[in-house]
Amino acid sequence: MGTILNNQVYDNSCLFCKIVQGNEPKVLVMENENFMVIENKFPISPIHLLVLDKYHREKKDVISGKYSQEGYFEELFSIIYQIVVKYGLDKSGYKIVNNGAGYNHFEHEHFHILGGSEIEPGGST
């Protein structure tokens, strides 16, 4: 099922793992050692980016705090903030979305950054 590369696990059947490994096309916006930001192939707003964990960490493990000792959320929100500023969303507005359980299509942890419109992307919250 999984491939180990640089002591990290990848799920060979996971679309996001394939994107991270360069086996699927992507428009890369930014990356660091642990996260990759790409344009969403099916955007629901003028700016719709995906922040992908570069390794196959499942949502249930992340939300349970399994990686909290590694500074996981600090690094994640640091790259999200960099993107928000880079696109000027800190002035125009943005939404950060993390779907879980029955609402997500992929178990591979990822966040959406939405913005670029006067109307709140995805509806009012």
Domain with 97 in it: what CATH number? 3.30.428.10
Distance (Å, rounded) from C-alpha 49 to C-alpha 65?
24
Instruction: Provide the pairing of β-strand 28-31 with 8-11.
Output: unpaired
Distance (Å, rounded) from C-alpha 24 to C-alpha 77?
25
Domain span holding position 89: 26-115
Within-domain flag for 14: no
What strands lie across the sheet with 35-39, from one edge to the other?
28-31, 35-39, 47-53, 110-115, 94-97
Within-domain flag for 41: yes
The percent of residues above 90 in pLDDT, for the chain, comes to 58
Number of domains in the chain: 1
Within-domain flag for 19: no
- What pLDDT shows up at residue 1? 45
Within-domain flag for 65: yes
pLDDT at 19 over 80: yes
Within-domain flag for 4: no
Distance (Å, rounded) from C-alpha 73 to C-alpha 100?
16
Within-domain flag for 123: no
How confident is the model over 80-102, as pLDDT tens digits? 999 999 999 999 999 999 887 66
